[in-house]
Structure 1
Amino acid sequence: MRLPFCHSLVSEVTEAKILHRLCRASVSWSPLEFHLSSLTFATVVTPRGRIWHRHLVRTVMLLSRVIDESPLWLIVNGRPQEALQVFGKVARWHGVDLPPESDMKRLVEEQAAEAQNTSPKRSSMGSLLKSVVDDVVILLKTPRLRTITLTIYFIYIMGAMVYYGLSLSGANISDDPYLYLVLSGLMELPAYIFSGFIVQHFRRKSSLSFSFFITTAVLLAVAFTPTEYSTTLFALAMVGKMAITTSYMMVVFFSSELFPTEVRGRGISTAYMMARLGGMGAPFITDLVGSVYPWVPFVIFGSGALLAGAGTFLLPETRGQVLPDTVAHLEVRER
């Protein structure tokens, strides 16, 4: 759950020209998390290790109190005074002057009033179940947001299926699956660098679709390359892993710019949930299908990447655009 909330908060409080760096740093930390988790679980069997784990949890809980809430979220949810306090703190940190307090207060209150008028009202006595259902339904309620939501869900499912499927295909590519796993992990490092450079200098839609199409071409080449060309197969698989990692990084960044502030957390969180569905299907494709027809999984993964790249064209371009605060803002902008 860390990634969706981190991306949502970072996208709302970070300047656009450096947002891609922070999103890339957040995701690129994930491989190290897996290694640290292994060390953590290894110490859980000792009494001293369990005490250490409890201290880690307390430390994280204390750190969460230091982080301010997103000012955009505060405005959208009718808390303008708290948003003004956050703006003032940020201005002091950066040594800049805000407009006169009266002007800031007027602007923030106008935005808060507009957000309250355009956001769905809920009774405080409403059932919790209805509230949860409404939170999900709002992502599908309006035409443009529905298109964005369903397209992002599909891209996340396909991207995760290809990413994890290629990671688990060592037995079908190399005689040494352990070496394959290590090198495929190392191929993610240049992907983190390339993805940041690409989103900084090029348009989001064309970059993401091109990366998926490169993945498609490489995986189809793997599928139809004879097995006796083992070195060629291995090299193609490494290029494919770098391409799909680049695609995955870019779609994470892209999705944080697509959803309006009032539903950004819900949109990104549910998109990650959809990605888990694609990840769960990958082992069945590589093991069950790949054990009978070794080339078929790569055709499936290549086709998935092709469909994800084509789906990108249904999304609006966000480079140079102001992040929408409400669903109404999004619908008006994309009309």
Structure 2
Amino acid sequence: MLGQGLGAIIFGYLSSRFGRKPVLWMTIALELLAGLSSALSVNIIHFSISRFLLGMATNGRYLTAFILVTESVGPKYRATLGLCFHLGWALGYCLLPGIAYLLANFRHLILVITIPEILWLVWLYWIPESPRWLMINEKWDHLEQELKRAVHMNNLLSKNDDNNDDVNVDNDGKQKNKSDNNNNNNENKRSYIWEVLKSPNLRRTTLIMYFTWFVNAFVYYGISLNIGDFGFNLFINFLIAGLLEIPATLLPMVAINYMGRRPLTAGLMYSSGLSCLAIVPLLALLADWPRVTIALIGKFFITSSFAVIYPYAAEIYPTVVRQVGLGSCSVASCLGCMLAPFVKDLSLSTGMNVVLYILSGLSIVDGVSIHFLPETRGKQIADTIAEAEQFNMRTITNTTTT
């Protein structure tokens, strides 16, 4: 988890400076090498270093690919594709307990999980660079190539124009973009998180996002890593929890374009908190199934929330610092991940009821704080910090007035 936090910072910066696709190449190569190194480790130090590097690579790859998807579509499909992205996680979650059950040796388990990643390197040849990143960094020739490719791939040319190669980024458009950004050119090249923290409204939004990501990770892994403590078989509980990830992702996929990001996320956090609270009176029961059922319901809601905050955060931050902003949120998330394994120790020393009160309280407090975030449904995402600051100022003012 520490590696994931560092990977979010390092690869977030590199992605903002050098593009999304080069970072995908780097992270997938590192992920493959670190996975093989983990399987072939000779001692615990070798293994720990390999897992640290693997954490860096996996989070860097995931966030970069997610940002690339977000920046390649318009407002209509942005949130839906962002949530579809999470279905891959759900599939892996479902497969893991079965693979672990069949392969008791951890080296074999890691090899089976790692080797198929070679397919990623083949897949990358068909992946475009982010058009928004190319535009904000004035890579006009490359941008023109990607737009032509998109037009032809999506059959946007009429039959009479099939052989016409006039799809281009015209000079007037280039000049207009250069003129609009002339005074903010240095700002557009910045890719540091402190540039966001200098802006008062963005800073406020960012701090709330940090808390939201921390709470989501802490509650999510607090339940996931301790699912066996609620009763039944560990493998079966893990499989059921994985299967729940699929409807937990599909639910917000339907609701997010009707309810909006802010009310949906807040409602899911309230529901997760109340579910954790509902387990407390069931702790004295001898039967396992009531506790397991409510715990899985709580995990359902926190999984949905976790799926929503990815596209939500990506829409809040401008293109120049989008991955850096999302990466810094991921660092806050990793802090929650690192604390979650100690939930078991806390429950042994104080009782499971204390842990559930903490998980419930954090979820409900976070639900309240989310109401102070801007609503991004149907809005064009910002490209510069100035645009994002104005957008946050308008939406926060409207929220306060309402």
Report Cα offsets for 1:97-153 as digits up to 9, x if no partner: 59x868843224422443353243699xxxxxxx8xx71311212112212222211
Pick one of 278, 281, 296 that aligns with 2:339.
Answer: 281
* One-letter code aligned to 1:105: N
1:193 aligns with 250
* One-letter code aligned to 1:15: G
Return the alpha-carbon distance in structure 2 between the equivalents of residues 31 and 113 of structure 1.
45
Return the alpha-carbon distance in structure 2 between the equivalents of residues 135 and 322 of structure 1.
22
Q: Which secondary structure state, in structure 2, belongs to the residue aligned with residue 68 of structure 1?
A: coil
Q: Identity over the aligned pairs, expressed in percent? A: 24
1:323 aligns with 381
Q: Do structure 1's residue 64 and structure 2's residue 124 form an aligned pair?
A: yes
1:30 aligns with 89
Q: Do structure 1's residue 13 and structure 2's residue 13 form an aligned pair?
A: no
Pick one of 138, 144, 158 that aligns with 2:201.
Answer: 144
Equivalences for residues 207-222 of structure 1 within 5 A: 207-222=264-279
**Structure 1 unaligned runs (5+)?**
124-130
2:289 aligns with 231
Report Cα offsets for 1:255-312 as digits up to 9, x if no partner: 1111111111111122122211101101112333345311111111111111221221
Equivalences for residues 220-259 of structure 1 within 5 A: 220-228=277-285, 230-259=288-317
Structure 1 residues 32 and 282 mapped into 2: Cα distance closer, same or farther (>3 Å)?
Answer: same
TM-score by length of 1: 0.84
Equivalences for residues 36-185 of structure 1 within 5 A: 41-42=107-108, 53=115, 57=118, 60-97=120-157, 104-115=170-181, 117-120=183-186, 135-185=192-242
Q: Is the 8 A contact 2:64 2:323 kept in 1?
A: yes
Structure 1 residues 145 and 44 mapped into 2: Cα distance closer, same or farther (>3 Å)?
Answer: closer
Q: Report the count of equivalent residues.
A: 318
* One-letter code aligned to 2:79: H
**Structure 2 unaligned runs (5+)?**
1-59, 159-165, 394-402
Structure 1 residues 218 and 121 mapped into 2: Cα distance closer, same or farther (>3 Å)?
Answer: closer
* One-letter code aligned to 1:20: A
Pick one of 50, 53, 62 that aligns with 1:3.
Answer: 62
1:126 aligns with none
C-alpha RMSD of matched pairs (Å): 2.9
Return the alpha-carbon distance in structure 2 between the equivalents of residues 90 and 102 of structure 1.
12
Return the alpha-carbon distance in structure 2 between the equivalents of residues 190 and 136 of structure 1.
34
Return the alpha-carbon distance in structure 2 between the equivalents of residues 297 and 288 of structure 1.
7
Return the alpha-carbon distance in structure 1 between the equivalents of residues 244 and 335 of structure 2.
24
Return the alpha-carbon distance in structure 1 between the equivalents of residues 310 and 246 of structure 2.
16
